[in-house]
Amino acid sequence: MSDKIPVTVLTGYLGAGKTTLLNRILSEPHGRKYAVIVNEFGEIGIDNDLVIGADEEVFEMNNGCVCCTVRGDLVRIMGGLMRRKGKFDAIIVETTGLADPAPVAQTFFVDDDVRAHAALDAVVTVADAKWLSDRLKDAPEAKNQIAFADVIVLNKTDLVSADELAEVEGRIRAINPYARLIRAERCQVALADVLERRAFDLDRILEIEPGFLNTGDGHDHHGHDHGHDHDHDHNHDHGHGDGLKHYHDEDMQSLSLRADRPVDPARFMPWLQALVARDGKNILRCKGILSFKDDDERYVFQGVHMMLDGTHQRPWRDGEARESRVIFIGRDLPEQAIRDGFAACIAA
């Protein structure tokens, strides 16, 4: 794992500030050298021979699965970049504002050559604090990008009031409660919060616990008492309380399941595989840590749509609660069926 080049996928709706963030990454004196795959040459103000233009060429895998889409241009560009291994420390892939992050992520799951040399680090989504709430209503791409993210940079917070900020954060959390949310003005964020996060690294999947109130510099300093004033009015006319609103997104949800008793792998694995085979089109991301029956090692997995990747990670530590946790983020998730299916996997 350690010798693989980390790849950060940078997404964000049109005008959210991706290029600003990219220019910051390339100009700050952090001592790291990045190869950058961009979709628009010329927007980058930095002269760097490791900035490569890409065409976002997505093709369907020839395996009959319509959601198994791959960025062929990335496969090609990664192959070329690997010829210059040693000239850079990490890779950033910028997507267009209207792009679905899934084909990018899936490229790193399915292409053996890419997998051999590089590993997806995190999907970082830049969101516009002023306009995101509107885009979540009218732009499915924007919602996808939020749902897919490991890190969300909520940019332009200086352009909104405290109430507006609370609203947009509530809407983000309704879609994706698990991503790290960082507030920023003009994309002024600590780059360590954005780059080389190892969010896809199965060794680090433990950050699965929702950081509901982690914003800004990552401290719980807001003191919103969430839990009150639940609003299930489906995206319109929320109140003006000072707490963090809980919104319910009409089509994108997350689902978190847990079990204190061990899970039976002979039931869980077939269930999970059948679930993503059937509903993978709608499941954008899934992750889990599992305590299997008669197994002293933690099992971790993650998935993008129909693709799953899992491994025994490490022995459970003495005194560590042997608890299984699984999360799904997706569209129109069959919540009750997933809950029942998971419950049936708990060993007797």
Closest approach of another protein to the CB of residue 83, in Å: 4
Cβ atoms of 38 and 54 closer than 8 Å: yes
> With binding defined as CB under 8 A, does residue 61 bind another protein?
yes
Can you give 67-100 as a three-state secondary structure string? CCEEEHHHHHHHHHHHCCCCCCCEEEEECCCCCC
Q: Which pair of tokens denotes residue 153?
A: 């940079």
With CB under 8 A as the contact rule, the residue among 70, 74, 105, 263 that binds another protein is 70
> With binding defined as CB under 8 A, does residue 81 bind another protein?
yes
> How far apart, in whole angstroms, are the C-alpha atoms of residue 81 and residue 73?
12
> With binding defined as CB under 8 A, does residue 51 bind another protein?
no
φ and ψ of 236, to 5 deg? -145, 145
- Strands 180-183 vs 51-53: parallel, antiparallel or unpaired: unpaired
With CB under 8 A as the contact rule, the residue among 83, 219, 232, 317 that binds another protein is 83
The helix/strand/coil state of 330 is strand
> With binding defined as CB under 8 A, does residue 62 bind another protein?
yes
By C-beta, is 58 or 259 nearer to another protein? Answer: 58
> With binding defined as CB under 8 A, does residue 76 bind another protein?
yes
With CB under 8 A as the contact rule, the residue among 30, 39, 48, 52 that binds another protein is 52
> Among the candidate windows 47-55, 285-293, 307-315, 325-333, which touches another protein by CB under 8 A?
47-55
> How far apart, in whole angstroms, are the C-alpha atoms of residue 194 and residue 182?
9
> How far apart, in whole angstroms, are the C-alpha atoms of residue 300 and residue 323?
12
Per this entry, what is the length of the chain? 348
- CA 65, 276, 13, 48 dihedral sign is negative
Residues 6+ apart with CB under 8 A from 267: 344, 345
Closest approach of another protein to the CB of residue 105, in Å: 17
Check residue 245 and report its DSSP letter: P
Size of the site for another protein (CB under 8 A): 24
> With binding defined as CB under 8 A, does residue 73 bind another protein?
yes
> Among the candidate windows 25-33, 68-76, 143-151, 307-315, which touches another protein by CB under 8 A?
68-76
By C-beta, is 94 or 150 nearer to another protein? Answer: 94
Residues 6+ apart with CB under 8 A from 45: 23, 27
Which of 338, 328, 249, 247 lies closest to 284 in space, CA to CA? 328
> With binding defined as CB under 8 A, does residue 4 bind another protein?
no
> With binding defined as CB under 8 A, does residue 55 bind another protein?
yes
Cβ atoms of 151 and 199 closer than 8 Å: yes
> Among the candidate windows 78-86, 202-210, 211-219, 314-322, which touches another protein by CB under 8 A?
78-86
With CB under 8 A as the contact rule, the residue among 28, 40, 43, 60 that binds another protein is 60
- CA 263, 269, 270, 273 dihedral sign is positive
Residues 104-143 that bind another protein (CB under 8 A): 111-113, 116
By C-beta, is 59 or 233 nearer to another protein? Answer: 59
> Among the candidate windows 48-56, 98-106, 239-247, 260-268, which touches another protein by CB under 8 A?
48-56
Residues that bind another protein in the complex, under the rule CB under 8 A = 49, 52-53, 55, 57, 59-63, 70, 72-73, 75-77, 80-81, 83-84, 111-113, 116
